[in-house]
Structure 1
Amino acid sequence: MEWSDEQRSLVAAVQDFCRREAGTREQRQHLTNGGREPHSPELYRKMADLGWLGLSLPEEFDGGGAGMVELCLFLEETAKAMAPIGGFTTSIIVAATYERFGSSEQKKRILSGVARGVVEAVAMSEPEAGSDVANLSCRAEHRGDVFVINGQKTWCSNAHLAEHILLVARTSGSAGDHHGLTMFLVPANAPGLTISGIDTMGGREVNDLYFADCVLPADAVVGQVDNGWRQLMAGLNMERLILASVMLGTAQRAFDDVMEYVKNRQQFRRPIGSFQVIRHRLADLATEIECARLLIYNTAAQVDRAPEKVLPRESSMAKLKATETARRVALDAMQMMGGYGYATEFDMERLVRSSVVSTVYGGTSEIQREIIAKTYGLSDHMR
């Protein structure tokens, strides 16, 4: 890819910062409580002071006014450096929703907050509604001047760090209807909301949310009542490209680490990278990473040229390709490193954990394939 001078300067600055602040495993262990917390408030504040957290946000809300390509570059580099800023992905996805659909007051509060280092979260999945978003049943009942929320959300990333939750709840219709969903701005400390962590292989990342007569004012609605599905669809480019860029950086890091290993690890009196089976495997992985990179940045450039256009095929392809590639690279790298790839004292096992789950969140690989197929006119209802 050809980058402008400004883009190259951004990449160089991010790389230098990450080497200095989180360049060693010891530094990252310190920042993450021994690897148990994927988000470091200390490192996050420093990035906020540099203006990077608001990189792609409008200047009127303390942002940098940059485009999708620049945001993807930032995400790729921070992921490659394994910088523990897990709260950023949900925050910037949420900010994009408020930028499109929020009121003036909501935009000022959320977008400026994200630029300053406030973490935001989104609550959509439920125990019986993961890939099937239309099956949401958490209900927001309109009573006079307020909405009363009851129900459960699950797998809510970074809710325990967030100041607000962007909630998708049902305001009309029944489970199975796309119509009747509404977005709400919910303070994380709202009475009637309980946040409970879910233990995972990745540490403290996701949460259950329980709403019991949680009362929200009418101005908590984000966008239009009953229009939440259309609003969700409008943000797919951003969400999928963000997740794809993070996994591109993860794949590149796994590749770089295993390359260093195979060049130095001696077996049968020569480096294992000299064996044809290893050489060819790495050649294949390098090719797959480059394919993912070209797909991501081509799609990001399309978004910058026409921000209002939804690109379901391209964004789903980017998410599918990047996450599946990251998983393959990390698992192959673990195999090539043998026991060292499995040991917790090395970074590879963390890269494996983060890449495997990436094919599940943000729309599973199976869902991405369904979306791509439908853009070609293929579906269960063909005649």
Structure 2
Amino acid sequence: MPRILTDERRDLVNAIGEFCRRECGTKERRDELTAHGQEPHNQEIYAKMAELGWLGIAVAEEYGGAGLGMADLCLFLEETAYGRVPISGFATTIISAAAYEKFGTEEQKRTVLGGVVNGRVEAISMSEPGAGSDVAALTCRAERVPGGYLVNGQKTWCSNAHIADHVLLIARTSREDSKHEGLTQFMVPTGVEGLRISGIDTMGGREVNDLYFTDCFLPDDAVVGVPGQAWKQLMTGLNLERMILAAMMLGTARRAFDDTLEYVRQREQFGRPIGSFQALKHRIADMATELECARLLLDDVAAAIDAEPGRVFAREASMAKLKCTELAKHVALEGMQMMGGYGYATEYGMESLLRSTVVSTVYGGTSEIQRDIIGKTYGL
């Protein structure tokens, strides 16, 4: 089914596609840009996108951005993921930027949002060793002291902290009857005294980090929003985080599908292309149908969010995240199976697509958490 786009959006999609083919269109070039897959963010490419004005696509015009909505942002994310451009820092940057835009002081907005537009990276830190899916159980403590707060504790799985200018930290500033109360957001410069950033080795390369806070002093003006109200502030960003991850994985799923399709059309066994055998042909047909369903879901939810930007679409955003991430993992696995040994070889790239999709059903709220959220919206 053809995607119906405005002329402006079609031009954006075409421009991104051309950029990706030119800058990272071959495996050799992507290996060069990512240190053979170990560095998923390349600042040189990121800076070029900043010059084109793309990184500020969802940033308000008064801070130098384009001031566009969710549909445009999702298109950008989908197309850059499809083109395999190494800008992993963008997702956490735009999630963090949205929090500053909603709740930050004017100085914080100009620092962070202006930085985003100009190619700077931002990070956000919620998870702890004992608080993953149950984020509100976090214990990293920010104790009130004269002139500010003293932070102690450990954070983990913080994406892009090692390349970010700031970390948007969620810490506990008081103990209340509800664990969802007494949490506060802070703007933390990554070079501040008392913060140590330690990389975690993963199958996806250098992307996530442990953060260790030891008597780290943050002044009063580091608070983002209202002290003690971080949980409520975080809830307003659920649409954005889930839609970002959904769009990225839809693009990745499309790329895995297209690479698989190209292979089964060309690879011959028993005297004919393997894609002509019913066993593979039907699997291709099923994946193509599922991709269209996922795309229609994502487009519809993005349009609804743009129509009512102040509303939290908990059910719909969770559905989009669940569908697109699970589908991406499935398509990459099917691609590896249909490509046989070549799917396992680093030469062909399917194995790297699989590595990038497997974790997508975990970060940003696991698939199990998304299903639980969807179920709750039906009164279950």
TM-score by length of 2: 0.98
Count of residue pairs brought into register by the alignment: 378
Given residue 244 of structure 1, which amino acid in structure 2 is its aligned partner?
A
1:310 aligns with 2:312: yes
Q: Give the CA deviation at 1:174.
A: 6.3
Q: What is the distance in 2 between the residues matched to 1:12 and 1:133? A: 39
Once the two structures are superposed, the pairs formed by residues 59-138 of structure 1 within 5 Å of their partners are 59-138=61-140
Aligned partner letter, 1:16: E
For residue 35 of structure 1, what is the aligned residue in structure 2?
A: 37
Change (3 A) 1:152 1:176: farther
The structure 1 residue matched to 2:331, chosen from 314, 329, 332, is 329
Give, in angstroms, the shift of residue 273 of structure 1. 0.1
Q: Which amino acid letter does the alignment assign opposite residue 130 of structure 1?
A: G
1:99 Cα offset (Å): 0.9
Q: Distance in 1 between matches of 2:45 and 2:208?
A: 20
- Alignment pair present for 1:287 and 2:289: yes
Q: Which amino acid aligns with 1:199?
A: D
Bigger mean CA deviation after superposition, 362-371 or 279-288: 279-288
Shift of 1:369: 0.3
SS in 1 for 2:318: helix
Aligned to 1:244: 246
1:206 is displaced (CA, Å) by 0.2
User: Please, which of 125, 132, 148 is the counterpart of residue 150 of structure 2?
Assistant: 148
Deviation at residue 287 of structure 1 after TM alignment: 1.0
Match of 1:381 in 2: none
Task: Tell me the residue number matched to 1:202.
Answer: 204
User: Match for 1:14 among 16, 20, 40?
Assistant: 16
Residues 191, 261 of structure 1: CA spacing in aligned structure 2 closer, same or farther, 3 A cutoff? Answer: same
Kindly report which structure 2 residues correspond to 1:294-305, keeping only aligned pairs within 5 A, or say none.
Answer: 294-305=296-307
In structure 2, C-alpha distance between the alignment counterparts of 1:173 and 1:337, rounded to whole Å: 54
For structure 1, the residue ranges without an aligned partner over 5 or more in a row are 379-383
Aligned-pair distance for 1:305? 0.9
Distance 2:83 2:370 in 1: 27
**Matched position secondary structure for 2:168:** strand
What pairs up with 1:216-365 in 2 under 5 angstroms? 216-365=218-367
Q: Once the two structures are superposed, what CA deviation does each residue of 1:119-153 show, in whole Å capped at 9, x if it has no partner? A: 00001000000000111000100112210000000
Dislocated runs of 4+, deviation >6 Å: none
Structure 2: segments with no counterpart, 5+ residues:
none
| Partner Cα distance (1:22, 1:308) in 2 | 37
Check conservation: 1:79, 1:250, Cα contact below 8 A: yes
Residue in structure 1 matched with residue 379 of structure 2 by the alignment: 377
Deviation at 1:345, TM superposition (A): 1.6
Contact 1:135 1:175 (8 Å CA) reproduced: no
TM-score of the aligned structures, taking structure 1 as reference length: 0.98
- Partner-residue secondary structure (3-state), 2:207: strand
Q: Please tell me whether residue 173 in structure 1 is matched to residue 178 in structure 2.
A: no
2:155 alignment partner AA? K
Q: Which amino acid aligns with 1:4?
A: T
How far apart in 2 are the matches of 1:341 and 1:96? 38
- Counterpart residue identity of residue 281, structure 2: R
